[in-house]
Amino acid sequence: MAARNAHAYGVGDAVTPVEDDVRAAGLRGVDAAFVDPARRSARGRMRVGQSEPPLDWCVALAQRVPAVGVKAAPGVPHELVPAGWEAEFVSVGRELREAVLWSPALAGAPARATLLPAGDTLVPADGEPVPVRDPGGYLLDPDPAVTRAGAVEELARRIGAWKIDERIAFLSADEPVVTPFARTMRVLDSAPWDQRRLPQRLRAWTSAPSTSAAAAWPATSTRSTGGSSSPVRGA
- What pLDDT, on a 0 to 100 scale, did the predictor assign at position 208? 63
Domain region containing 209:
138-224
- What pLDDT, on a 0 to 100 scale, did the predictor assign at position 209? 59
Residues 94 and 167 reside in one and the same domain = no
Residues 71 and 23 reside in one and the same domain = yes
Determine the 3-state secondary structure of 88 from DSSP.
Answer: strand
What is the number of structural domains in the chain?
2
Q: State the 10-residue block means of pLDDT for the chain, 235 residues long.
A: 93 88 84 86 71 88 93 91 96 95 96 96 95 93 97 96 92 94 88 83 72 42 37 34
- What pLDDT, on a 0 to 100 scale, did the predictor assign at position 229? 35
- What pLDDT, on a 0 to 100 scale, did the predictor assign at position 223? 39
Residues 14 and 103 reside in one and the same domain = yes
- What pLDDT, on a 0 to 100 scale, did the predictor assign at position 110? 96
The answer to whether residue 160 is domain-embedded is yes
- What pLDDT, on a 0 to 100 scale, did the predictor assign at position 190? 75
Q: Rounded to whole angstroms, how far apart are CA atoms 115 and 130?
A: 23
Residues 143 and 85 reside in one and the same domain = no
Which residues have a Cβ under 8 Å from the Cβ of 16 and sit 6 or more positions away? Answer: none
Residues 97 and 187 reside in one and the same domain = no
Residues 22 and 76 reside in one and the same domain = yes
Q: Rounded to whole angstroms, how far apart are CA atoms 162 and 172?
A: 5
The answer to whether residue 128 is domain-embedded is no
Residues 101 and 145 reside in one and the same domain = no
The answer to whether residue 122 is domain-embedded is no
Residues 77 and 160 reside in one and the same domain = no
Determine the 3-state secondary structure of 208 from DSSP.
Answer: coil
Residues 99 and 146 reside in one and the same domain = no
User: Which residue, 87, 108, 129, sits at the end of a domain?
Assistant: 108
